[in-house]
Structure 1
Amino acid sequence: MSGRPWDASYQDGPAPWEFGGPQPAVVQLVSEGAFRGAVLDAGCGSGDNALLIASSGVPVVGFDVAETALARAREKAVELGVDAEFVAADALQLDELGRRFDTILDSGLLHTFDAGERSQYVVSLASVANPGATLYVVCFSDEEPDAVPHPISQTDLQTAFPADSGWTIVSIEPRRIETRMHEHGAPGWLATVRRN
């Protein structure tokens, strides 16, 4: 919840989870036209995913608690001539944004929360999701549990989005997640979740 530990990860160069580009799963989603309407990038970091999405012509708001990351994201947007908005926000209190979105991307945020925080986060996401909104979650998987911090199982995902949460899991597919620490990518999931 505090931005300081996260911000420190960006102050001496790229954070370990940033590798200089958007996640391959996000590249694929953009190529398929998956991002529609107003888009929220949850835990956007220095903006690589948000900027790719925005370059496809949809309005994007990226949020993070790390001010250093947000400053870099804004710099990149100017350098690339891409129109995207980057704001500081607490993932567990997104209603404070006072806005709603049609598509939400979570690339690498959900798996940083423990089980109790995940349920708060899912409620927080619901507060900014329009009816019928689509949420894409890219997270580390438990396929190789020793290879990643905070591995998440399919059961963990289903527990995070129970039937009474107002969300329905449409699909969970294996994906590789690029980081600076994994030469051939880390095991992950791409979950597609729909707001009821």
Structure 2
Amino acid sequence: MTVPDRATFETLYAGQAPWDIGKAQQAFVDAADQISGSILDAGCGTGDTALFFAARGQRVTGIDFLEEPIKRAKRKAVERGLAATFLVKDALSLKDWNERFDCVIDSGLFHVFADADRKKYVAGLATVLKPGGRLFLLCFSDEEPGTQGPRRVSTQELRDAFAQGWDIESIRPTRVETRPDLKDFTFSAGGPKAWFAVIRRVA
């Protein structure tokens, strides 16, 4: 399965990306009471998950490496009368950032990275997440058949990626919601199979 490059994402955001459903993924809605304090939305896209938490009165910063989705996220915040910070920033550069957060949410970012970039991303998460803070991560599951969409991730891959300095509190099966009008992709009925992991930073 090909790892998407910058041009692929630019092309997808030239229109409406398959994952741009206009609201937070249900896994984050269900876990909302566990996600408190300052929040970083890594790979926030057009901002719907970040704005869901902003609407709950939480301090949220969303980052994406492309300018177009950040422009749309800022516009949504204004339209909805919500306060949130949106920055053009590459999640692979988190290790060089001085900001610290109580929680990080990842709604479909981890699964786009090649193996080497996964390691860099996890190291960056360890930098920006306060000790004892939690990462809430939604990614495609290796139980989703086919090759369309992002890389599939196994529970063992998650355990290996977060083996040092992390405590995996839970990994549960869930689904990713995609746009109902999506015609170029074929996924399992009910939405692509996914994992939702809660991972605590311990060192």
Q: Same fold (TM over 0.5)?
A: yes
1:48-79 superposed Cα distances (whole Å, 9 cap, x missing partner): 10000111111000000111000000000000
Q: Percent identity over the alignment?
A: 43
1:62-104 superposed Cα distances (whole Å, 9 cap, x missing partner): 0001110000000000000010100011111113332000000
Question: SS at 1:194's partner residue?
Answer: strand
- The answer to whether the 8 Å contact 1:41/1:62 transfers is yes
Question: SS at 1:51's partner residue?
Answer: helix
The aligned residue for residue 179 of structure 1 is: 178
1:100-119 superposed Cα distances (whole Å, 9 cap, x missing partner): 00000001000001222111
Distance in 2, Cα, partners of 1:119 & 1:142:
19
Distance in 2, Cα, partners of 1:42 & 1:169:
19
Runs of at least 5 residues in structure 2 that lack an aligned partner in the other structure:
none
Runs of 4 or more, structure 1, over 4 Å off, are 1-4
Q: Paired residues, what number?
A: 191
The answer on 1:112 being equivalent to 2:112 is yes
The aligned residue for residue 161 of structure 1 is: 162
Distance in 2, Cα, partners of 1:34 & 1:103:
9
TM-score normalized by structure 2? 0.89
| Equivalent of 2:21 in 11, 14, 19 | 19
- The answer to whether the 8 Å contact 1:43/1:106 transfers is yes
The aligned residue for residue 54 of structure 2 is: 54
The answer on 1:89 being equivalent to 2:89 is yes
Paired amino acid for 2:191? G
TM-score normalized by structure 1? 0.92
1:25 Cα offset (Å): 0.5
Question: SS at 1:127's partner residue?
Answer: helix
Runs of at least 5 residues in structure 1 that lack an aligned partner in the other structure:
none
- The answer to whether the 8 Å contact 2:40/2:61 transfers is yes
